[in-house]
Amino acid sequence: MKVLYLSVWYPSERDRMAGLFVQNHAQAAASQGVEVRVNTWWQDADLVQLNVLTLKMGLVAYVLKRVFGIPYILVEHWTGFMPENGQYLRFPRWKRRLLEQIAAEASAIYTVSPLLKKAMKDCGIKNSRWGHVDNIVDDCFYRLPALPPSEGTKRLLHVSCFLERAKNVKGLLRAVKTLSRERQDFTLTLVGNGPDWQACRDYADSLSLPEGMLRWTGEIAPQGVAREMQRSDANILVSRFETYGIPLAEAMAVGIPSVESDATGLRLIKETGLSVPADDEAALTDAIRYMLDHAREYDRSAIRRHGTRFTTQEVGKQLLKIYEQSRIRS
């Protein structure tokens, strides 16, 4: 089977992280014997996978279908449909109408979470067939052995792109400040970089937290993130909006529990962590307190079993099934 990937986001020498999730899907499909090409003109393709609904690539997919009879599916990740973001609804009406037509012509729409599916429908996106596809966790997270819980100081972890309006890092820092007044038996490591990284560091300094309670690594390679997770007791991602939440899947892959907000697309179950209302700092503080007392009681092997669905092999199987169904329906 030959599948053409179209995406405005894709890793390049200028930005190796842009659209990494699309590249991971392409590699997963290739692992199942699918011939994949990216962002080229390929009128002999059996199917087009349009990644993220944009006019530039959406119109290419539309023309390939109308002129050459090549069906396309839409795989969506974008936070712009989320009501807390609202970027899609700020588009001019003419642009939204064109995008709605492109979406309606797709053989099916696959979102990375039910939360995103609802947001798209609320924005007026229509299609007769909807489905789900997972994002992928780098294989290095699975290669690390599960470690038994450590002793002594508890270690919390936060991984993000440091976009404050989405990731709520300052809310997390305030919760840590509250807890530091009653106990100092823990540390928080913050991994990543982004537009608000320095502002978050400055804000942390203004809170006058106990010396050594915070550790900032900056951006590190996936292998480094995996090792940080492996050595941590719990992971925290309490975004204000998030279509998926890759750090939650990564935490499952290495076997540690997480605290998430209910605005995160990848929802946790009791075995894998706790969920709190978005922007509820009292609930967040309580959840972190619980993790400090109970994170080491979680069954790490059970958490890892839940995380196997995010492997390249498993998501590749999901994609192959999607492609086969899309060809039959078209």
Express each pLDDT in 259-303 by its tens digit.
Answer: 999 999 888 889 999 999 999 999 999 999 999 999 999 999 999
Same domain, 120 and 19: yes
Same domain, 35 and 169: no
Rounded CA gap, 37 and 5, in Å? 6
Q: How many domains does the chain have?
A: 2
Same domain, 224 and 189: yes
For 67, residues 6+ apart whose C-beta sits below 8 A from its C-beta are none
Tokens of 188: 């928080």
Same domain, 122 and 221: no
Q: Are 111 and 120 in contact (CB under 8 A)?
A: yes
Angle subtended at Cα 24 by Cα 272 and Cα 127, rounded to the nearest 5 degrees: 85
Same domain, 153 and 287: yes
- Regions in the chain scoring below 70 on pLDDT: 12-18, 328-330
Task: Give the domain extent around 31.
Answer: 2-136+311-329
Q: Are 16 and 3 in contact (CB under 8 A)?
A: no
Same domain, 88 and 201: no
Same domain, 108 and 201: no
Same domain, 268 and 212: yes
Same domain, 251 and 211: yes
CA distances to 159, 167, 283 from 200, in Å: 13, 11, 21
If you write DSSP's letter for every residue of 251-284 in order, what string do you get? HHHHT--EEEETTBSS---TTTEEEE-TT-HHHH
Backbone angles phi, psi at 206, to 5 degrees: -70, -20
Query: What confidence score (pLDDT) does residue 16 get?
Result: 63
- Residue 115's domain is classified under what CATH number? 3.40.50.2000
Same domain, 168 and 304: yes
SS percent in the chain: helix, strand, coil, step 5: 45, 15, 40
Same domain, 304 and 315: no
